[in-house]
């Protein structure tokens, strides 16, 4: 239960006087983290938001996303980069600008991590284009940009951005991801979409706001078109997963780098996984690691399905990426059954899973994996593909099934109480809202053990970045005098 208003004010004053209470990192409580009663539109613009990214540190929840500079569907989320913070005690503060787009310079696909040693500090990377011309369908050139922001009371004090790498290639650099290692160094991987199509890597070991502090981009040794890279660090190893297209077919690829100080990504412990039987095109990998546990999940399409059906697959390593289990499905954790799920409550079939996102929590020697994804839900009345819906599940052990998927958002054709729209979820989960499209989610788990989910929601043919979780509101206005003015 959320604190009453007087108690919330008292706790707020404590937080202000002792900010470490708000920001201190700690062990996350393992358990079913499935309170999705709060819904907040992070963007608040009815613009063309891109897929948001979310992380937690103690009681602090932070999300970043991009918003379209204009309303042209072809450029969608190219434009501004925003950041918004929340306290589980108080609610969401107003959004802050990380990168403000101009008529010619737009940002896209931001990702971020918390600093390994300084509470309340985040490191943000994004792809940036130039020569956009205001209302052009596409831009020219590209770069990978970086900044660090100090968070305090809803204010994000961001340093001037540094350039990690730049190119004159047409739409050349995309999808950066970032991870800190045990020494506090930062590692970034992104893909180059123009010939030569490849993955590139850079490292910063010092003052990362200075462009010169980033190592010169080096190519990750891949055998085909590398896309959608994901980075994670655990127990001295930097992990990388991506999807790769080559003449022999699409695969999910994995490397582990044990030398994180040589400014190259070494191709150690190479692993690859193709599609399961009767499926094709494995893509959109997600990666998470803690202690010696490494989790990778992805989606794939059923061969010849029309309308298309999808399934989620995953592998797990319990020796820090040296070896992995065989490919298993979600949520049954079976090596052979990759079929579309069925919802008895809605009397319809979910068309599998798309765009999964993983995070992990650990308490002592116990590590749990948490997964969100979206599914295409057909309209039972019209027989067509109507809505996309976000689901959440968790895994406590390699050999056990994932928990019964819980609906984070409402699905296509659902009516009546929200509980009727969830599948195998706990009865006390309340999902607010009506049936709308929700897609490309991300998840983080707070210190209290709550799942914090962000996703894109379709509103009148445009997409907004939206939050779903236990934080139901924004910071009340009568708290604002205690907050430092916007910088």
Distance CA 467, CA 42 (A): 6
466-484 pLDDT, tens digit per residue, is: 999 999 877 765 444 444 3
Q: What is the average pLDDT across 90-106?
A: 93
Binned at pLDDT 50, 70 and 90, residue 46 comes out as: low
Query: Could you write out the DSSP letters of every residue in 362-416?
Result: EETTEEEEEEEEEEEEE-TTT-SEEEEEEEEEEESSTTSPPPPPEESS--TT--S
Pairing outcome for strands 385-395 and 366-378: antiparallel
Among the residue ranges 152-161, 246-255, 301-310, the one predicted with the least confidence is 301-310
On the question of pLDDT at 157 being above 50, the answer is yes
- Identify the pLDDT of residue 210: 85
**Could you tell me the two tokens for 243?**
């999807």
Determine how many CB atoms are found less than 10 A away from the CB of residue 475: 22
- Identify the pLDDT of residue 350: 54
Burial of 329 (0-12, 13-18, 19+ CB in 10 A): buried
Length of the chain in residues, anyone?
A: 487
Q: Which residue has the higher pLDDT, 197 or 181?
A: 181
Virtual CA dihedral for 330, 335, 339, 340, nearest 10 degrees?
0
Binned at pLDDT 50, 70 and 90, residue 231 comes out as: very high
Among the residue ranges 152-161, 285-294, 468-477, the one predicted with the least confidence is 468-477
Among the residue ranges 250-259, 319-328, 331-340, 356-365, the one predicted with the least confidence is 331-340
Distance CA 127, CA 111 (A): 10
Question: Using omega within 30 degrees of 0 as the cis cutoff, is the peptide bond preceding 196 cis?
Answer: yes
Q: Which residue has the higher pLDDT, 420 or 463?
A: 463
Domain boundaries, the chain: 223-436
Query: Could you write out the DSSP letters of every residue in 415-452?
Result: -S-GGGG-SS--TT----S-S--EEEEEEEE-TTS-EE
Q: What is the average pLDDT across 280-286?
A: 94
Distance CA 250, CA 243 (A): 7
Distance CA 231, CA 224 (A): 19
Q: How far is CA 283 from CA 166, 335, 371, in A?
A: 26, 18, 16
Contact 452, 444 (CB under 8 A): yes
Q: Of 199-203, 305-309, 387-391, 446-450, give the range with the top mean pLDDT.
A: 199-203
Q: Which parts of 258-384 are beta strand (E)?
A: 268-273, 279-290, 293-302, 310-317, 328-329, 342-343, 348-349, 354-363, 366-378
Residue 41 CB contacts under 8 Å (≥ 6 apart), including other chains: 457, 464, 465, 466, 467
Q: Which of 225, 227, 224 is nearest to 240 (CA)?
A: 227
Q: Is 14 helix (H, G, I), strand (E, B) or coil?
A: helix
Burial of 19 (0-12, 13-18, 19+ CB in 10 A): middle
Angle (CA) 190 191 195, round 5°? 150
Distance CA 113, CA 89 (A): 22
Q: Which residue has the higher pLDDT, 4 or 406?
A: 406
- Identify the pLDDT of residue 477: 53
Q: Which of 340, 351, 396, 346 is nearest to 374 (CA)?
A: 351
- Identify the pLDDT of residue 423: 31
Binned at pLDDT 50, 70 and 90, residue 379 comes out as: low
Distance CA 352, CA 332 (A): 13
Q: Which residue has the higher pLDDT, 231 or 311?
A: 231
Q: What is the average pLDDT across 162-180?
A: 89
On the question of pLDDT at 333 being above 90, the answer is no
- Tokens 């922001």, residue located: 149
Q: Is 108 helix (H, G, I), strand (E, B) or coil?
A: strand
On the question of pLDDT at 29 being above 50, the answer is no
Q: What is the average pLDDT across 391-398?
A: 93
On the question of pLDDT at 2 being above 50, the answer is no
- Identify the pLDDT of residue 337: 65
**Secondary structure element (H or E) that encloses residue 21, with its range:** helix 19-23
Share of the chain above pLDDT 90, in %: 50
Q: Which of 321, 320, 302, 322 is nearest to 312 (CA)?
A: 302
Q: Which residue has the higher pLDDT, 181 or 431?
A: 181
- Identify the pLDDT of residue 371: 96
Distance CA 107, CA 69 (A): 9
Q: What is the average pLDDT across 288-313?
A: 90
Q: What is the average pLDDT across 16-28?
A: 36
Average of per-residue pLDDT values in the chain: 80
């Amino acid at each position: 239960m959320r604190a009453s208003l007087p108690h919330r004010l008292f706790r707020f004053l404590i937080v202000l006087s002792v900010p470490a209470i708000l920001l201190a990192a700690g062990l996350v409580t393992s358990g079913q983290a499935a309170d999705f009663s709060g819904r907040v539109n992070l963007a608040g613009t009815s613009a063309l938001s891109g897929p948001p990214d979310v992380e937690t540190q103690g009681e602090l929840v932070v999300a970043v996303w991009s918003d379209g500079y204009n309303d042209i569907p072809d450029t969608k989320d190219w434009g501004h980069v925003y950041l918004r913070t929340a306290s589980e005690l108080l609610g969401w503060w107003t959004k802050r600008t990380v990168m403000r787009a101009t008529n010619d310079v737009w940002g896209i696909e931001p990702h971020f991590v918390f600093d390994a040693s300084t509470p309340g500090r985040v490191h943000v990377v994004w792809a940036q284009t130039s020569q956009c011309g205001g209302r052009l369908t596409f831009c020219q050139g590209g770069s990978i940009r970086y900044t660090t922001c100090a968070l305090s009371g809803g204010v994000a004090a961001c340093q001037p951005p540094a350039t990690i790498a730049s190119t004159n290639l047409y739409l050349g650099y995309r999808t950066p991801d970032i991870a800190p290692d045990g020494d506090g160094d930062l590692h970034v991987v992104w893909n180059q979409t123009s010939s030569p199509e490849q993955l590139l890597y850079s490292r910063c070991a010092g003052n990362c706001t200075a462009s010169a502090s980033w190592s010169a981009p080096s190519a990750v040794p891949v055998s085909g078109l590398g896309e959608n890279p994901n980075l994670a660090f655990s127990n001295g190893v930097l992990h990388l997963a991506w999807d790769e297209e080559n003449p022999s077919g699409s695969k999910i690829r994995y490397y582990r780098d044990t030398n994180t100080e040589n400014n190259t990504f070494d191709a150690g412990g190479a692993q690859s996984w193709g599609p399961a039987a009767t499926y094709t095109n494995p893509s959109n990998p997600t990666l998470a690691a803690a202690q010696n546990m490494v989790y990778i999940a992805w989606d794939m399409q059923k061969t010849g399905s029309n309308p298309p059906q999808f399934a989620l697959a995953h592998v797990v390593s319990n020796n820090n990426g040296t070896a992995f289990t065989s490919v298993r499905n979600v949520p049954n954790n079976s090596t052979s059954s990759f079929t579309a799920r069925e919802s008895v409550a809605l009397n319809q079939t979910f068309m599998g899973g798309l765009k999964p996102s993983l995070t992990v929590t650990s308490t002592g020697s116990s590590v749990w994996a948490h997964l969100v994804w979206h599914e295409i839900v057909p309209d039972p009345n019209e027989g067509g593909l109507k809505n996309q819906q976000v689901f959440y599940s968790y895994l406590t052990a390699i050999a056990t099934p994932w928990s019964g998927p819980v609906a984070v958002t409402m699905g296509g054709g659902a009516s009546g109480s929200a509980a009727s729209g969830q599948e195998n979820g706990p009865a006390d989960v309340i999902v607010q809202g009506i049936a709308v499209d929700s897609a490309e989610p991300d998840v983080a788990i707070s210190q209290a053990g709550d799942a914090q989910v962000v996703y894109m929601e379709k509103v009148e043919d445009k997409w907004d970045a939206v939050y779903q979780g236990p934080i139901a509101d924004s910071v009340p206005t009568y708290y604002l005098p205690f907050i430092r003015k916007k910088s």
